[in-house]
Amino acid sequence: MTPFLRVVGVGMRFGGLQALADVTFDVEKGSVVGLIGPNGSGKTTLMNVVSGVYKPTSGSVQFAGRTIADVPTYNVCKLGIARTFQIVKPFVNLSVRENVAVGAMYGREGSHRSTRASFERAQELLEVVGLARVADRQAADLTIPDRKRLEVAKALALDPEVLLLDEVMAGLNATEVDEALQLLRDVNARGVTLIVVEHLMKAIMSISTTVVVLAEGKKIAQGQPREVVASPAVVEAYLGSRFAKRQGQLEEMRRQAEEAGAASHGESA
Amino acid sequence: MPAASTGTLLRKVGFGGITGNRTVFFIMCGVLVAMLGIPALHNGYYENLFRGILMFSTLSMGWNIIGGYTGYVSFGNVVYFGIGAYTSAALWQHFHQLNLLLAIVVGAIIAALMALILGIPILRLKGPYFGIATLGTALATQEIISNIDWLGGGSGFPVHQIDNFSLYYYAMWGVCAVSLAATYAIGRSKFGYALVAIRENEEAAAILGVDPTRTKVQAWMISAMMAASAGAVFAAANGFIDPPTAFASDTNIFPIVMAILGGAGTAAGPLVGAFVLTAINETLWGHFPQIHTLFFGAVIVLVVLFLPRGVLWLLNVRGGWRGLVNSLGAYRV
């Protein structure tokens, strides 16, 4: 297990806003890194830096011996880094299969794939993500959960070593979340390293091998999911007040319910 | 989701895939083959009329590559038509060459180089800004040519004509057929999907490994080569070339209207559009010789209003247009 993707002192400034400040962590091959933090903590900005969409104002991202900022955005996928967009970007006038085929044509393995082979690869991936039933429909007609699936399929079509997933589970119901988690585990089992941004704590805790916590653009914790949740800095910055309050309310309700139950039992007896 | 409703509408009116409706394409191939028989009628009017249709089809197919497939609405493709026309004229005037094939090849190469030089800076612009910049190149090129004495300056120069006039018809048919075949091949290639991906969402295309600048410049070079081929044959058939003839605004605008009318981003759309628009033009000219231009303008407006797939396509292609219209509305201009 050698670190093969390194985020080194990354800072990103937009005018007067410091979106990221000195974020450093290593990603090991085959791991699943969960990236969490409150709204506006810089998660999507970090995804944009790692995928080469933004050039960081300080620090760098190193992958396969290269600095991502030195590689044009369209060549990042050829190094082996693929991503999904939180705000999905389907090619609305193309069919679902064509959307995925474009990735298969121009991704890491694209140069030695014919148009036809690209379409066959696209079809395989649509079966993997569960979109085979709508392969010939226009992407414009897809529901939001299906659009999220399409984003994943397009990213997988690039044959990535590292897959960045930006909130692919947002808007899914409980069953769909379980399906999505199973899909990500399958992808990871094939040797693809995952960096997952997600708001659903339960999902991220169950899939991640390492969790990195951002708050106001800074890394405030890193470690195994259980350790991170217990970390006082995280509880204070992110989970703290809300979880504490909710747990307190739950305790209160449970006690009231028990009292009421005991009272009614008493009456009926 | 406005994008979803637009997409649904586009599919209902027959858009889909990147070649377009296969049946329409093969019907138009048949029509094109049938057009080989026109010179056998020995009717000068028909030969001129159909040579015009072939010329405008070729120009429209050229525009379709950059405007229809790639989504960059160019108002400057007449530059390349003019380059082709002047290549043909200059080859006769200065080198006494009458070889049409040579004129087409040289014209296409010069036009492609010009598209490369202009495209690298201009294709970084999007939506209306790209359109305005291309219009600028059209106006500038006409002015520049008007001031080059070697190219006949403002008064132009004659192009020697051969006796077998039908040769020009067959030459125009040839460039049209090659352009149609090229468009069809592009529609079935990886390159074609890169163009459409750029039109649909340039950022998403780049993330999927498509190099946007390189791809767009290549598209414009192909577009320019088609326009220049038509120009080279036109100059020879016309027998005379000067800046207003080579860079006429009709030659610039009609191909765009034709592509939209027939179906931008489909292989056979420009050919369909060229037939329909020419038919409308000829009918109006026959019935209202005095004011046919007025009616023709009105027809174009009505087409755009009531056959909105063209306009919707453009709106869909570049969010910038929608943004422009919205902002105009907001200021109540």
Query: Does A136 lie at the interface with B, CB-CB under 8 angstroms?
Result: no
User: Chain A residues with CB inside 8 Å of B207's CB?
Assistant: 51, 53, 73-74, 76-77, 82-83, 85
The last residue of one of the domains, among A120, A138, A157, is A157
pLDDT per position in chain A (269 positions), as tens? Answer: 457 899 999 999 998 899 999 999 999 999 999 999 888 889 999 999 999 999 999 999 999 888 999 999 999 999 999 999 988 899 988 999 999 999 999 999 988 999 999 999 999 999 999 899 999 988 988 988 899 999 999 999 999 999 999 988 888 888 888 988 999 999 999 999 999 998 888 888 889 999 999 988 999 889 998 888 777 777 777 655 666 566 666 767 777 777 777 666 555 44
Range of the domain at A269: 240-269
* Same domain? A2 vs A68: yes
Among the partner-chain residues A53, A93, A102, the one whose CB lies closest to the CB of B208 is A102
> Bigger pLDDT: A155 or B20?
A155
* Same domain? A104 vs A153: yes
Query: Does A144 lie at the interface with B, CB-CB under 8 angstroms?
Result: no
pTM (2 decimals)?
A: 0.84
CA distance B316 to B52: 31
Compute the nearest-CA separation of B324 from chain A (Å).
21
Number of compact structural domains in chain A: 3
The last residue of one of the domains, among A105, A131, A157, is A157
Residue B315 confidence (pLDDT): 35
* Same domain? A45 vs A169: yes
Query: Does residue A119 lie within any of the structural domains?
Result: yes
Query: Does residue A87 lie within any of the structural domains?
Result: no
Mean pLDDT value of segment B151-176: 89
pLDDT tens, residue by residue, A169-225: 888 888 888 988 999 999 999 999 999 998 888 888 889 999 999 988 999 889 998
Domain of A25, CATH number, reads 3.40.50.300
Candidates A74, A76, A97, partner chain B, best to mutate (most B CBs within 10 A) = A74
Query: Does residue A181 lie within any of the structural domains?
Result: yes
Compute the nearest-CA separation of A94 from chain B (Å).
6
User: Chain A residues with CB inside 8 Å of B4's CB?
Assistant: 92, 140-141
Contact at CB, B8 and A138, closer than 8 angstroms: yes
* Same domain? A245 vs A118: no
Query: Does residue A86 lie within any of the structural domains?
Result: no
CA torsion sign, B255 to B258 to B260 to B264?
Answer: negative
* Same domain? A50 vs A105: no
A214 sits in which H/E element? strand A210-215
Partner residues linked to A95 by β-bridges: A138
> Bigger pLDDT: B326 or A242?
A242
Residue B11 confidence (pLDDT): 39
Q: Is the pLDDT of residue B10 over 50?
A: no
User: Chain A residues with CB inside 8 Å of B10's CB?
Assistant: 93
* Same domain? A108 vs A211: no
CA distance A195 to A162: 7
* Same domain? A75 vs A129: no
Query: Does A96 lie at the interface with B, CB-CB under 8 angstroms?
Result: no
Query: Does residue A89 lie within any of the structural domains?
Result: no
* Same domain? A16 vs A146: no
pLDDT tens, residue by residue, B93-147: 888 877 899 999 999 999 999 999 999 999 999 888 999 999 999 999 999 999 9
Among the partner-chain residues A51, A93, A158, the one whose CB lies closest to the CB of B209 is A158
How much of chain B exceeds pLDDT 70, in percent? 85
The last residue of one of the domains, among A111, A139, A157, is A157
Query: Does residue A88 lie within any of the structural domains?
Result: no
Among the partner-chain residues A89, A106, A140, the one whose CB lies closest to the CB of B210 is A106
Task: Please state the length of chain A.
Answer: 269
* Same domain? A152 vs A169: no
* Same domain? A2 vs A75: yes
Query: Does residue A235 lie within any of the structural domains?
Result: no
Residue A265 confidence (pLDDT): 59
CA distance A82 to B46: 57
CA distance A67 to A31: 21
* Same domain? A191 vs A144: no
Contact at CB, A93 and B200, closer than 8 angstroms: yes
The DSSP code sequence of A66-133 is EEGGGS-HHHHHHHTEEE--SS----TTSBHHHHHHHHHHHSTTGGG--HHHHHHHHHHHHHHHT-GG
Query: Does residue A216 lie within any of the structural domains?
Result: yes
Query: Does B205 lie at the interface with A, CB-CB under 8 angstroms?
Result: yes
* Same domain? A200 vs A140: no
CA distance B11 to B21: 11
pLDDT tens, residue by residue, A124-136: 999 999 899 999 9
Q: To which residue do tokens 């509305």 refer?
A: B329
